Amino acid sequence: MSFTADRLVLFGATGDLAQRMLLPSLCALDADGLLHADLKIVGTARSELSTEEYRDFAREALEKFLPDNRRGGMADFLNRLHYVPLDATTLEGYDRLAQEVGAYEGGLAIFLSTAPSLFEATIGGLKHAGLTEGNVRIGLEKPLGTDLGSSCEINDAVARAFPEDRIFRIDHYLGKETVQNLLALRFANLLFEPVWNSKYIDHVQITVAETVGLESRVAYYDDSGALRDMVQNHMLQLLALVAMEPPTSFDSTAVRDEKVKVLRALRSVAKDETVTGQYRAGAINGAAVPGYDEELGKDSDTETFVAIKAHVDNWRWKGVPFYLRTGKRLPERVTEIVVQFRCIPHSIFEGRGATTQPNRLVIGIQPEENIQLTMMAKVPGLDREGLRLRPVPLDIAMPDAFSGTVRRIAYERLLLDLIEGDQTLFVRRDEVEAQWEWIDAIRELWHQAEIKPRTYSAGTWGPSAAIALAERDGVSWHDE
């Protein structure tokens, strides 16, 4: 049922995500007149704060994390904020929360960004206080479990209070503009679809590289590792968008139906198709950084890097490897998808001494948002010493192509979709479960084969075995 919520409750309202992303996104939406005039935002967390104190807290976060030019109307935004302290594990606080929320005539949107161990208790509390009745939808921030079993438990608990069409599972990569642009590129152009298959594509690479290390998330990250932190969600969603069949329309059911088919078609990974690593001390951009163990303060077998050769077993993708890699403390921050086309079937230029290279499409997601298609072109000249061909890029820098439009961060989009009820960019339960099944099998493989992460120096592209994983197929990672 469609409704625009006029109440928003933020669980985890004093947390890192709220400070860095949620409050700045909401404030920016407000400044642009995109929030319902009557939208009341109620924050809740354990800290004993009054509404006034929470507004001060929010002001500080906005001053730190929202660029100057997007802070217009901050005072009005702060007036929308209210706060109720709550211990999520006891029922008492929920009645107070319900009182503060008041009647929600338009509807209520709840955003849970708390430890998953609190999800079940929180749902119970919301139910007890009547906050699951009527027009209510719920947004869930990751991590949604640590394996298929725990994810099902969370999903079952949420399903006891909300039907699937009111559950909004967040993968913030889906809120990124260039990720959505992938759909436009594939399905708003005639050019690519006829060649988007194993006949013309040699392989696909998906890289999500970060320069940061553990940051302040020591306990979470050490329990999670790169496979569950990045591959299970963001990277598999990117893979699904690259590999899916054309949906019949851009709506939540059609798009998610196609994504889940891809996720279910992922072949179990073989032992020699994964490489894991953990960073040692090294240097990033010339600055020395400590190793993972040192940051953590103890020895650990958690992987901070993973590379996988994945396969989608269906007609379109048979024989096309998808090389995935992600890691912390890599030389640069870059998220990109590389679609490597096959060689032309016959070169008419060979007799003239010219060689050709296959076309390549690079979709840059961050930090640069661009689309680059490498084409062969003739080097100008009279060619007395032979014809020369060279790859040249057709380059579209999105910020230039759309200068004058606001570049919005992912959470602006996702929060607005939650408030207004569009599920297209949220992950459906069957997708999450298919993702976990594939990831659990990899973890089981590592466990059985006693695979431990190899070391790599911070500031390098992971263990050398990750390079070998691609090179033995005659493939080079895009940065090489």
Chain residue whose CB lies nearest ligand BG6:
229
Give the torsion through C-alpha atoms of 127, 130, 135, 138, to 10 deg: -30
Q: Cβ-count burial of 231 within 10 angstroms (0-12 exposed, 13-18 middle, 19+ buried)?
A: buried
CA–CA separation, 330 and 461 (whole Å):
5
Query: Both tokens of residue 284?
Result: 């990033």
Q: For strand 282-284 and strand 201-209, is the pairing parallel, antiparallel, or unpaired?
A: unpaired
Measured at the CA of 70, the angle between CA 69 and CA 72, to 5 degrees, comes to 95
Nearer to ligand BG6, 207 or 374 (CB): 207
Q: What is the DSSP letter of 97?
A: H
Q: What are phi and psi of 233, to 5 degrees?
A: -115, -80
Nearer to ligand BG6, 6 or 229 (CB): 229
Positions 325 through 354 that interact with ligand BG6 (CB under 6 A): 335
Nearer to ligand BG6, 156 or 215 (CB): 215
CB of 335 to ligand BG6, least distance (A): 6
CB of 241 to ligand BG6, least distance (A): 16
Task: Return the number of other C-beta atoms located less than 10 Å from residue 429's C-beta.
Answer: 19
Q: Which residues contact 64 (CB under 8 A, 6 or more apart)?
A: 19
Nearer to ligand BG6, 276 or 335 (CB): 335
CB of 66 to ligand BG6, least distance (A): 17
| Catalytic, out of 234, 311, 346, 447 | 234
3-state SS, residue 444: helix
Q: Which amino acid, one-letter code, is at 199?
A: K
Nearer to ligand BG6, 29 or 227 (CB): 227
Map tokens 């390098």 to a residue: 460
Nearer to ligand BG6, 61 or 235 (CB): 235
| Residue 141 interacts with ligand BG6 (CB under 6 A): yes or no | no
Per-residue x/- track, 109-128, ligand BG6 (CB under 6 A): --------------------
CA–CA separation, 208 and 217 (whole Å):
19
Per-residue x/- track, 157-196, ligand BG6 (CB under 6 A): ---------------x------------------------
Q: How many residues bind ligand BG6 (CB under 6 A)?
A: 4
Contact with ligand BG6 (CB under 6 A) among 210, 273, 369, 431: 210
Contact with ligand BG6 (CB under 6 A) among 6, 30, 141, 229: 229
Q: Is 234 a catalytic residue?
A: yes
User: Left (φ > 0), alpha (ψ -120 to 50) or beta: where does 404 sit?
Assistant: left
CB of 78 to ligand BG6, least distance (A): 26
Give the torsion through C-alpha atoms of 1, 173, 275, 370, to 10 deg: 140
CB of 164 to ligand BG6, least distance (A): 23
Binding site for ligand BG6 (CB under 6 A): 172, 210, 229, 335
Catalytic residues: 234
